[in-house]
């Protein structure tokens, strides 16, 4: 049976060069980076070289990059510390953020009496900047704005620089979950005055269980994890050297091949949209996700005109045919709840129809797309 993987927003296939380098490090460079002997120094060199290379690409200093277990930990570190250490009393966000942000804010509301405000959204999921300014203008209490760069379900892209400049105007801190964009978009963090961004290696063909957080210097953030001086005292625990080198290789390859990969994936997304409309003309693209100028080239969210009784069977039938895609983010796939993102932007009758997220990578082909469309067309006809 043919296998087609169109769920790269959930996680990506690891690059072969990443696997080879990680294997080499696990085999030959196994010292603790905190040890002073040659084995430890060799491991420490790998960790610090990775930090410097990542910092150089983002145009920041190595001292502003801290390795974590991934995006969720990094989001938690920023949000919890903003309240605990930076005196933040109010957080502005949107209702379509990743649950790593929304659930952390629920915790802060319950335990720290933090005021959370939700910025208005347009029908395509983009932020209403006038509303953001109005909310910021309402109070001069210490505020943090947390808005994701690329939405993981619908691909909506936030204008990071404009948002950062608005926050700066009102003396608010700005945190952006950039898990879906780092490795796919160039970010010059000297040009964009954002205070915190986060990353997860498995979103750009690296290993799971490792990522990083950028924390602008002199922020005053303190550790959440105690017990050691690793990561300059911000995150205790022996560094996973093999994962960090895997992150570095994946990150380097992502930016080395960025233009060619983006062009290929963009062309494939365009082909998918065109052919899908030919096969099933009644489909709709949620949040205008087929618009290649305003949404991520890696993500497409499609609403199908199938009858209600078929909704629950659609994903199952695709899986039986060897096709991997998603109803929403992988983090909620085990839940019976629908997408909180689509619930926010769709009308009730639209929300009740089946929607699927297809997310692409450089490993996908036109043959993959053709097979998926044929399968969907046959499902609708039955």
Catalytic (active-site) positions: 331
Closest CA to 235 of 78, 39, 22: 78
CA–CA gap between residue 204 and residue 325 (Å, rounded) = 17
Closest CA to 72 of 99, 54, 35: 99
């Amino acid at each position: 049976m043919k296998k087609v993987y169109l769920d790269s927003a959930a996680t990506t296939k690891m690059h072969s060069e990443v696997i080879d380098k990680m294997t080499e490090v696990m085999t030959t460079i196994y010292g603790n980076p905190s040890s002073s002997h040659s084995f430890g120094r060799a491991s420490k060199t790998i960790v610090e070289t990775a930090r410097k290379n990542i910092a150089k690409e983002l145009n920041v200093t190595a001292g502003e990059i801290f390795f974590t277990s991934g995006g969720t930990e990094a989001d938690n570190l920023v949000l919890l510390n903003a309240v605990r250490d930076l005196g933040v009393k109010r957080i502005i966000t949107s209702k379509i953020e990743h649950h790593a942000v929304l659930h952390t804010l629920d915790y802060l509301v319950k335990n720290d009496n933090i005021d959370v405000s939700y910025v208005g959204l347009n029908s395509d999921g983009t932020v209403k900047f006038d509303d953001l300014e109005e909310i910021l203008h309402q109070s001069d209490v210490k505020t943090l704005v947390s808005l994701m760069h690329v939405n993981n379900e619908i691909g909506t892209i936030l204008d990071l620089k404009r948002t950062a400049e608005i926050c700066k105007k009102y003396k608010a801190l700005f945190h952006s979950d950039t898990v879906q964009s780092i490795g796919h978009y160039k970010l010059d963090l000297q040009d964009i005055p954002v205070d915190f961004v986060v990353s997860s290696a498995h979103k750009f063909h690296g290993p799971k269980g490792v990522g990083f957080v950028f924390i602008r210097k002199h922020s005053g953030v303190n550790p959440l994890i105690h017990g050691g001086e690793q990561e300059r005292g911000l995150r205790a625990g022996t560094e996973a050297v093999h994962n960090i080198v895997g992150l570095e290789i994946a990150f380097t390859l992502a930016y080395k091949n960025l233009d060619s990969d983006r062009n290929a994936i963009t062309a494939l997304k365009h082909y998918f949209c065109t052919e899908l409309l030919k096969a099933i003309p009644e489909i709709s693209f949620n949040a205008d996700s087929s618009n290649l100028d305003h949404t991520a080239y890696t993500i497409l969210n499609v609403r199908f005109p199938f009858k209600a009784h078929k909704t629950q069977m659609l994903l199952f039938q695709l899986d039986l045919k060897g096709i991997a895609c998603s109803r929403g983010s992988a983090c909620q796939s085990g839940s019976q709840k629908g997408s909180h993102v689509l619930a926010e932007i769709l009308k009730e009758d639209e929300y009740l129809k089946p929607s699927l997220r297809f997310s692409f990578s450089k490993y996908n082909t036109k043959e993959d797309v053709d097979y998926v469309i044929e399968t969907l067309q046959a499902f609708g006809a039955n």
